[in-house]
């Protein structure tokens, strides 16, 4: 849909109402994603009687695995640097980063993008009294209240952006265009369902301020998303397994009381059920109603006067046999939970060890790489998409601060880097086979600027020596870890040995460079 035109025949609220409808239709999906991430999904029971029984006992045991796919990716998404070859531009980038606490804001932005599939970064210039831009504010906005509407003829072009929120008894909305911002409001306690409910939202001293014109040529909203035109939550595939886990866990917890205190029974012969010679004291006080004497104790949950202990004697009158009902086998619940966790890992392309760290015991680095391959590819896709939006946001901000054509580079911490003995052995083999040193190290997961710094002034022999040292160190770390697992050496001793070795290597390298 195109932005509102100047033609008076076109309803000026057309874009507003269209955007509100889009927000309303998308909201349930975002709410559902938030519910699964927060672990507040209610258990689903086919049997209504069982559902009522558990609800009556207020059974609620959260076992939330659905958030793991989101957190696993967020933890790997770290911007290493945003830089420019121009020193003045670099200073402005550093100022923007610090002023907006982007070390925290970006992490939250990436997590929300994973949780909802979409997240928006607002970039708003702040002017002084003379109209000069003095700083730029960057902050996250939820897709539950903001939505970019893309042009139908070109889905990469933003037609306009709507932001709608509640402000006490009023509803507010802003529409962002390439050349202006429109501000709208409802009357007090209005639902805002009709176009007539929406009025211009001017400042008291300026009736025309409901439209703020600018010459930016673009909208100050940047869309971080997992897909196009709108994203899909990273844990969307976890919804089904999480439903099963929630149901299994709730039902399992409902049987725990029976495992700790099994339900018992007593069988009687018809001819021997007369217990009229028993005294009320033979059972707990209050178990014998005056009108029920001789008919047996009530089902109060405390029927037995038998005491367990050394020297105690149990006298059972009128009972043929006694016994107890076996509680449900825990494996009936735990095994399906394990299956659903594995299914969740496969569906969301998240390594199983991120759900269950114990699953990684006694595994090689090669098997990790094979398991991580789809996961790492997904992270690299996110780095590409999010990096493009981060680049656009900083270019926009720098232009507002007076840099007409800023050159900006966004670098990420590698999604995967070599740290195992097998990995460094592979690097050695590549270099020995003729692969250029720079290429081999970049394929190991290190950034180009890191590799260039390492290679500066380093000949082939020195590089080979360093690779050999790293390979030996990784191999030693792996063997020491196995020794610690067997109890031959403590983990503290392993840490001390490796730390001392690394310190010695760093001191030696420094001495060589200074020499």
In a domain, 108, yes or no: yes
Cite the beta strand spans of 179-336 per DSSP E. Answer: 180-186, 198-200, 211-213, 221-225, 264-268, 319-324
Q: How far apart are CA 246 and CA 240, in angstroms?
A: 10
Which tokens belong to 174? 């802003």
In a domain, 184, yes or no: yes
Residues 187 and 164 in one domain: yes
In a domain, 288, yes or no: no
Parallel/antiparallel/unpaired status of strands 319-324 and 264-268: antiparallel
Residues 381 and 454 in one domain: no
Residues 24 and 106 in one domain: yes
In a domain, 224, yes or no: yes
In a domain, 333, yes or no: yes
**Final residue of a structural domain among 381, 416, 451:** 416
Cα-based distances in Å from 166 to 145, 181, 192: 10, 18, 11
**Final residue of a structural domain among 388, 416, 444:** 416
As for how many domains the chain has, the answer is 2
Which tokens belong to 316? 């059972």
In a domain, 310, yes or no: no
In a domain, 388, yes or no: yes
Q: What is the 3-state secondary structure (H, E, C) of 293-349?
A: CCCCCCCCCCCCCCCCCCCCCCCCCCEEEEEECCCCCCHHHHHHHHHHHHHHHHHCC
Residues 79 and 151 in one domain: yes
Residues 391 and 500 in one domain: no
Contact status, residue 389 vs residue 218, Cβ threshold 8 Å: no
Residues 484 and 354 in one domain: no
Residues 78 and 173 in one domain: yes
Residues 338 and 446 in one domain: no
Altogether, the residues listed in the chain come to a count of 515
Which tokens belong to 362? 């006694």
Residues 364 and 502 in one domain: no
In a domain, 290, yes or no: no
Residues 109 and 200 in one domain: yes
Q: Which residue has the tokens 């990436």?
A: 110
Q: What is the pLDDT of residue 1?
A: 42
Q: What is the pLDDT of residue 2?
A: 45
**Final residue of a structural domain among 396, 416, 436:** 416
Q: What is the pLDDT of residue 434?
A: 76
Residues 68 and 15 in one domain: yes
Residues 212 and 81 in one domain: yes
Written as one string, the DSSP assignment of 355-381 is T-GGGGTT--HHHHHHHHHHHHHHHHH
- Phi, psi (deg, nearest 5) at residue 382: -65, -40
Q: Which residue has the tokens 């870890």?
A: 481
Query: Which residues form the domain of 67?
Result: 1-269+328-416
In tens digits, the chain (515 residues) has pLDDT values of: 444 444 445 678 999 999 999 999 999 999 999 999 999 887 665 556 656 665 665 556 678 999 999 999 999 999 988 999 999 999 999 999 999 999 999 999 999 999 999 999 999 999 998 889 999 999 999 999 999 999 999 999 999 999 999 999 999 999 999 999 999 999 999 999 999 999 999 977 788 889 999 999 999 999 999 999 999 999 999 999 999 998 888 777 767 766 677 777 777 776 555 555 555 444 444 444 555 444 444 444 455 566 666 666 666 777 777 777 777 787 878 888 999 999 999 999 999 988 987 765 555 555 566 778 899 999 999 999 999 999 999 999 999 999 999 999 998 888 876 555 556 666 777 777 777 777 777 666 666 666 777 677 566 666 666 666 766 777 777 777 777 777 778 877 777 776 766 666 566 666 555 55
């Amino acid at each position: 849909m195109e932005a509102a035109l100047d033609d008076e025949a076109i309803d000026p609220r057309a874009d507003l109402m269209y955007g509100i409808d889009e927000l309303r239709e998308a909201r349930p999906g975002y709410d559902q994603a938030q519910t699964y991430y927060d672990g507040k999904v209610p258990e689903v029971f086919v049997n209504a009687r069982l559902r009522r029984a558990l609800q009556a006992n207020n059974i609620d045991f959260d076992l939330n695995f659905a958030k793991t796919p989101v957190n696993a990716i967020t933890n790997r998404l770290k911007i290493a640097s945003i830089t420019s070859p121009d020193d003045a531009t670099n200073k402005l980038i550093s100022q923007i980063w610090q002023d907006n606490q982007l070390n925290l804001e970006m992490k939250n932005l990436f997590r929300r993008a994973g949780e909802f599939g979409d997240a928006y970064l607002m970039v708003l210039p702040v002017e002084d009294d003379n109209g000069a831009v003095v700083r730029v504010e960057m902050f996250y906005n939820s897709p539950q209240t903001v939505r970019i509407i893309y042009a139908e003829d070109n889905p990469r072009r933003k037609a306009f952006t709507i932001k709608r929120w509640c402000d006490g008894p009023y509803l507010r909305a802003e529409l962002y265009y390439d050349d202006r911002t429109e501000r709208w409001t409802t009357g007090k306690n209005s639902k805002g369902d009709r176009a007539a409910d929406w009025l211009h939202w001017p400042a008291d001293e300026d009736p025309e301020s409901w439209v703020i014109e600018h010459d930016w040529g673009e909208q100050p909203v940047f869309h971080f998303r997992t897909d196009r035109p709108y994203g899909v939550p990273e844990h969307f595939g976890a919804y089904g397994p999480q439903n099963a886990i929630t149901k299994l866990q709730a039902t399992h917890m409902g049987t725990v009381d029976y495992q700790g205190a099994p339900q018992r029974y007593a069988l009687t012969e018809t001819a021997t059920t007369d217990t009229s010679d028993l005294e009320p004291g033979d059972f707990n006080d209050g178990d014998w109603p005056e009108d029920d004497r001789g008919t047996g104790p009530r089902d109060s949950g405390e029927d037995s006067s038998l005491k367990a202990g050394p020297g105690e004697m149990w006298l059972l009158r009128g009972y043929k046999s006694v016994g107890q009902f076996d509680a449900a086998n825990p494996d009936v619940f735990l095994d399906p939970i394990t299956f659903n966790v594995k299914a969740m890992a496969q569906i969301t392309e998240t390594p199983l060890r991120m759900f269950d760290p114990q699953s990684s015991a006694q595994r090689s680095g090669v098997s990790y790489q094979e398991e991580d391959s789809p996961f790492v590819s997904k992270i690299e896709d996110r780095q590409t998409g999010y990096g493009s939006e981060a680049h656009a946001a900083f270019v926009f901000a720098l232009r507002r601060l007076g840099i007409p054509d800023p050159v900006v580079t966004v670098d990420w911490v590698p999604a995967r880097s070599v740290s195992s003995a097998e990995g460094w052995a592979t690097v050695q083999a590549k270099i020995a086979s003729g692969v250029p040193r720079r290429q081999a190290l970049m394929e190991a997961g290190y950034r180009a600027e890191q590799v260039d710094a390492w290679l500066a002034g380093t000949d082939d022999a020195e590089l080979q020596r360093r690779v050999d040292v790293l390979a030996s160190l990784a191999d030693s770390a792996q063997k020491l870890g196995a020794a610690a697992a067997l109890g031959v050496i403590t983990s503290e001793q392993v840490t001390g040995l490796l730390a001392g070795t690394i310190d010695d290597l760093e001191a030696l390298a420094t001495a060589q460079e200074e020499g």
